[in-house]
Each structure stands twice: as C-alpha cells, then as structure tokens.
Structure 1
Amino acid sequence: MENPIFKDMLVLELASVLAGPSVGQFFAELGANVLKIENAATNGDVTRNWKLTTEPADTDIPAYFCAANWGKKSLALNFKEKEELQQLYKLVQQADVVIASYKPGDAEKLAVDYETLRSINPRLIYGHITGYGAADDRAGYDAVVQAESGFMYLNGEPGGGPVKMPVALMDILTAHQLKEGLLVALLRRERTGEGQLVEVSLLQAAVSALANQATNYLVAGQEPKRMGSDHPNIVPYGSVYTCKCGKQLVLAIGDDRQFRKLCTILGAEGMAAIPAYATNYSRVQHRQEVNERLSQLIGQQDREGLLQQLQAQHVPAGAIYTIPEVFAQPQAQEMLLRNGDAKPGVRQIAFKVQHQEQAQLTPPPSYNNYKEDKID
C-alpha cells in the first residue's frame, strides 16, 4: 500500500463551524497535517460551545465540533497581536493550502487575505468561503441560505410551511465545491508551480445543487412547489408508504418496467396496464390516484417481507430508518473513524482509491493543544 496521498502537505484552517472545517478534515483523512488556527479573542471555533443538553457544560469537544475536526491540531492566535500574526506568517511559509471563511473585507483587515499570504508563499493555494461572494459583505448562515436558495420553500408537505433541512446542507454543499476547487488548483500547481485563489459562496453552491428543480423552472417553465417526499418528474419516487406492521418504506420507481414488477409483487398486475398508470408520464398526471392505490396495497403487506421481494426483483425500495438503524448497517460502520477510547467520528471521504493507505486520524483536538515549533 502507498502512503496517504497528502502525507507531507500542510493545511492551515482559518475557518470555523462546518463548511471550512469539513474541508480541513477531508485533507486530514488524505494524510495532510492540518492545523486549525482558532481565534484566541473569541475562545476558538464557536461550535465548541454548541452543546446538547446531555453533554457536560465544561467540554470543549462537543458532538457538533466532532463532526468536522478529526485529525487536526489546534493553535489559538489573535491576529490583532503583531507577534501572533507573525507566528501565522511563519507557518504560511511552510503551508500548501489555507482554508478561510471570512466576510468580504475582513481577511484584509486582519492581514490574512490571499494577496498578503501569497507575498509570503507564492505557491500557496487559498480557499475562501463567503456567504454571497466577494461583492456582498453579508455574513453567510446556513439556515438563511437554505431560505434564500429555495430549499426551505421546497422542503415540507403540500399546504404546510417551509421546513429547514435537518443538517446544515448548504455548508456541506459548499465544502464539496471548495474541495473540488482546491484539488483543481493543486493539479494546476503541479503543472505550473503557481499558487491560486479558490472562492466559493454558500448561495452559489446551493443554487448549483437545485439541479432538476432549477431546470423544471428554467427549461419547462414550471415553478416548483412544495410536494413533501414526492418527486415532480417521477411517480412513484420518494413517496412514503406505511405497511400493516406500522413500519414505513419508500419507493424509487424510475421506469415503467420497474412499475410493472412492483404491481406484480403487490398482486395487482392489471394496475400497470391501465392507461392512466402505464407510463411515467401518465402517472405524473394521475399522481394522487397512483399513490392512493399503492397506499392501499402496501398497507396490506409486512414491510420486511415486501422489501425482500422488491429487492429480489430489483425494484428500488428501502426502509425508513432511524439514525441508530442507519449506523447498524455494515456500510455505515465502514464510515466511522475510530481511535482508542474516543467516541467515533464520521468520515468526510466516502470514496475509495485503489492502493492508497488510509490515514490514522487523531480525535478532534482540545482547544489550543498545538505546542510544537513545527508540524511533525
């Protein structure tokens, strides 16, 4: 096995909360040395204070912080203090990547912007996350961007109110965009020797992820509406049904052949031959009728037995799982980060690269635990 791909890379993380730190952990999982630079004036990453009622009041490594900070060391600096800013500049001389999340203009005020750091290290790649881009000085908050990008408007049941996603999805989407941009910049540096600025905003990452909902409006001229779990273009897809045992499942029927198999398994072969149901195009137009009939049929079935039949015939369907049930799956167990007696973390990386050894990560760092003069 080869060593982790970024074994000798130094990443400086000048970011907090979820988006930037997720990128930092991504590089740590690929073997990079990641130093989390925390704001000494505010006692570090704000998520060190985002604690559940079940967590000790005095912990500085709560569950939320653990979501994106495995494999790092923590160094607290106040950039308004000249000596501490110089300490950062010394690290920048060695660094390959900086991950920053500042409102436009704030990095310049602190003298930690790309142009300043590039003058110290021309090979530096600087990834900068903003809420709305370089020309808009508003701070970016996931819940606000969920609202402004249409996600909250689309999420929820018909006739109900807008609903925020249960995770900070805009932060996660932004992190993925920044990872891609930084990897492109690293490839370019291999070819040219030059560093680069990579910028991404929460709002544009969110708009990019609207996918078919965006093109339903832009191409087909249909304004997307709140539909619960239903899909605007496919029926039945995403719809939730309750079995006689009280447990629920979801269907994801992508073509007419799968629909015919579904009807056969449910003992309603003739349903697939009805013109109003025979094709996806017709099922979309008769959505309510299809869902009502399927609800009746599935309501007569035991969930586990039905799922076994559906999976045996390659009909896309799955159980609605609780989070404990999710982590009981072997595939989810493979996503866990483990180290000694520390509580498990979750990997940022879900892909596998042949011949690449996985880095062994340390648990999330205590505040300001970095004391060495240089990165190991």
Structure 2
Amino acid sequence: MPVFKDMLVLELASVLAGPSVGQFFAELGARVLKVENAATRGDVTRSWKLSTESADTDTPAYFCAANWGKTSLALNLADPQQLQQLYTLAKQADVVIASYKPGDAEKLKVDYASLRSINPRLVYGHITGYGPDDARAGYDAVVQAESGFMYLNGEPDGPPVKMPVALMDILTAHQLKEGVLVALLQRERTGQGQLVQVSLLQAAVSALANQATNYLVAGQEPQRMGSEHPNIVPYGSVYTCKCGKQLVLAIGDDRQFRRLCAVLGAERMADDPKYKTNYERVRHRQEVNGKLRQLIAQQERESLLQQLHTRHVPAGAVHTIPDVFAQVQAQQLLLHHAGARPGLRQVAFRLQGQEALQLSPPPSYNNLEEEHKEL
C-alpha cells in the first residue's frame, strides 16, 4: 500500500522548491492538487522554455522537473467564490505547501491561521526567501550569492560562479519535507496540525557544513578553490588521462592514498614524509597534485578506474549528462508514461516492500477545466 494513500496535499507553491515537495508526496501515494494562479496562467515555470522547445507548450522541461503525479486547478484567490472553493478543499486536506512572500498569504486569506480555523489538523509548510519577518522575495541565484555558495564556487583566479542547478531551492525542499514529516508524526500523537516554516537563506546557510565550521571553529575564511577540498588532499581534484578523458579522486584517508600510489607505480611517494599523511598533503597541496597529474596523464581512464575500484580507491569518471543517464542507477530514477517524455523522481530512497508508483505526467494548463469538472 502506498505510504500516503488517502492523503490530500494542496500545493499553493510555484517554481521548484515547493513543487518538489509536492511531487515527493505524489510519488509516495498522496493525491496532490496543484492550485495555480488563474490571473497569471499558472506556475511561472510554464513559461520558462528552452530555445529548442515549442513556444506553444505549457509543460516545458523546467515545469516537468517537479510536477509529475499531480492534478492542477486554476483559481483566482482574489475572487471570493473561488476562494471558497479552496476552503472546501482545505477542509479535506492533510498538508498545504505554500511559497508566498511574508504578508501575501494573509492578504489572500490562505495563511496558516485562516486555514487552521477551517481544519485544525492541517499541516502547513511555508517557504519564504528570508523568513517571516523579511518581505523580500526569494530567488535561488540571489540566495546562492548571499549565502556564500557563489563566492566559494569557481576557480581561485576567477569570479564567483552560480551553481548549474537551483541548489538553494532543492536544499529548501529537503528541509521542508523533513519539517512536514515531523509535523505529521506530531499530529499522530496530538491530533493537531502545525505550521512549518523554512527560508531559502537559512536552508542554504545550514548546508555550508564543513566550510562553515572551517570559519567558525578554525577561524579560516574559506576561499574559492575550484574543485579542491580545503581539508583533504587529493579530494575533488580533476585529472586528465592519456586518452583526454577526465576523472576525479576522493582520497579520504592515508591508506587509500597508499593504494593509489601503488596503482600508479609510485610507492615511494606514499612513504615521502611530505605526502604520507593527509595533514602534510594539505600543506603540500600543489606538489601532490603536480605529481599526480604527471602520473595519471600516462594512464588510460577506463583501465585506471578499473584498477582503482578493485583496490577500493575512491575515484570516478567526469560524466556528461548523457553519460549520467546511461548508468543503471540513473535509469532507475526515471518516470515513464505513454506519450510523455521521461521525468525524474524526487524520491531516491527505497522502502522495503514498497514498489515505486506509476505517476501521471505534469498537468497541462490548457486542460484544467476538463480535469476538474467534479470540483
């Protein structure tokens, strides 16, 4: 039986963070109803199209990233009659996912207090950019800059670089999922719903992890290092093989470094006091990388990776996106439906005895009236 069978989730959210949470619940069996703004013809990502996509499509690739398994309803919540329609749904709902700027939900009368008065068991997850007391709208690229991620991303002699995915949105979605699941557990014990709040900025800052503690604990201000790691060498370093293909090493301890050197025929390097321990390798980072680049440049990538994997040395090929989806593990995350291009699952974990559900493709805005005549 699906985990969230008979659960109704109302999605009053757009773009990526909130809709990702909605698709998460859909994949686990909930009925997810995406409430879109009729005044703007729905989720703004319906208009975020690649130059290779049809100008007429209302389910472009970006929209499809987080809207599988849902049905959709277009409402103008400024219209009292349509607001009442939402209230009727809220009485039946278990979870609401919202992404309004502070104050906007209250103006529309769809804030937690308003909906809780209709349904005290409601769990209301609210995403903002900067928390309930800061009215600024949250945008992933801006939060990447303000949270330090952009400053840290890029080469040492280059400018700050934005991540190639909306990572702040994704981190926020994970935080909201966790908060909503905790609130649902609490509801099982108390019978009462809960307001769950998360901001893009705080979700981002909480994910700075060791870069944050390098500053807070060790007093070292993190800087751009390309793909290098401030605490470990070689870790994240990219090397080019004889064939021109690239690989990454992630050497986590001294035993792995010794095995790496053995595979490369450089056993003496592992015994050198300057390279023997991770502490010394961090101090002599440039020398270590220089020697490894020379050694790896003499190797064919696939043969070298096979040897490294056999010796349990962490290493991997630098893949293009087509390379990624050629892997069996990536294929297992694809969503399929007749007549639709593949989608990507939000749920990457497995529950024993639970089969992955087949989901409907992202809903077309043009078909909303037909899909919801019963409402």
TM-score, length of structure 2 as denominator length: 0.98
How far 1:33 sits from its partner (Å)? Answer: 0.3
Question: Residue 258 of structure 1 corresponds to which residue in structure 2?
Answer: 256
Residue 15 of structure 1 pairs with residue 16 of structure 2:
no
How far 1:7 sits from its partner (Å)? Answer: 1.1
Question: Residue 84 of structure 1 corresponds to which residue in structure 2?
Answer: 82
Counterparts of residues 244-283 of structure 1 (less than 5 Å): 244-283=242-281
Counterparts of residues 12-91 of structure 1 (less than 5 Å): 12-91=10-89
Q: Within 2, Cα distance between the matches of 1:350 and 1:313?
A: 28
Q: Within 1, Cα distance between the matches of 2:81 and 2:155?
A: 55
Which residue identity does 1:371 align to in structure 2? H
Counterparts of residues 49-198 of structure 1 (less than 5 Å): 49-198=47-196
Counterparts of residues 246-325 of structure 1 (less than 5 Å): 246-325=244-323
Residue 278 of structure 1 aligns to a residue in which SS? coil
Which residue identity does 2:11 align to in structure 1? E
Which residue identity does 1:244 align to in structure 2? K
Q: Which of 339, 343, 347 in structure 2 is aligned with 1:341?
A: 339
How far 1:356 sits from its partner (Å)? Answer: 1.9
How far 1:38 sits from its partner (Å)? Answer: 0.2
Residue 172 of structure 2 aligns to a residue in which SS? helix
Q: Structure 1, residues 232-283: CA drift from partner, whole Å, max 9, x if none? A: 0000000000001000000000000000000010011000111000000000
Q: Within 2, Cα distance between the matches of 1:341 and 1:327?
A: 20
Residue 274 of structure 2 aligns to a residue in which SS? helix
Q: Within 2, Cα distance between the matches of 1:162 and 1:366?
A: 38
- Aligned pair count? 372
Percent identity, please.
79
Q: Within 2, Cα distance between the matches of 1:90 and 1:194?
A: 19
How far 1:339 sits from its partner (Å)? Answer: 1.0
Counterparts of residues 347-358 of structure 1 (less than 5 Å): 347-358=345-356
Question: Residue 373 of structure 1 corresponds to which residue in structure 2?
Answer: 374
Residue 159 of structure 2 aligns to a residue in which SS? coil
Conservation of the 8 A alpha-carbon contact between 1:104 and 1:136: yes
Which residue identity does 1:98 align to in structure 2? V
| RMSD after superposition | 0.7
Question: Residue 230 of structure 1 corresponds to which residue in structure 2?
Answer: 228
Q: Within 2, Cα distance between the matches of 1:30 and 1:165?
A: 29
Which is bigger in relative contact order (C-alpha 8 A, separation at least 6)? Answer: 1
Q: Which runs of 5+ in 2 are unaligned?
A: none
Q: Within 2, Cα distance between the matches of 1:271 and 1:147?
A: 40
How far 1:340 sits from its partner (Å)? Answer: 1.2
Conservation of the 8 A alpha-carbon contact between 1:31 and 1:358: no
Q: Which runs of 5+ in 1 are unaligned?
A: none
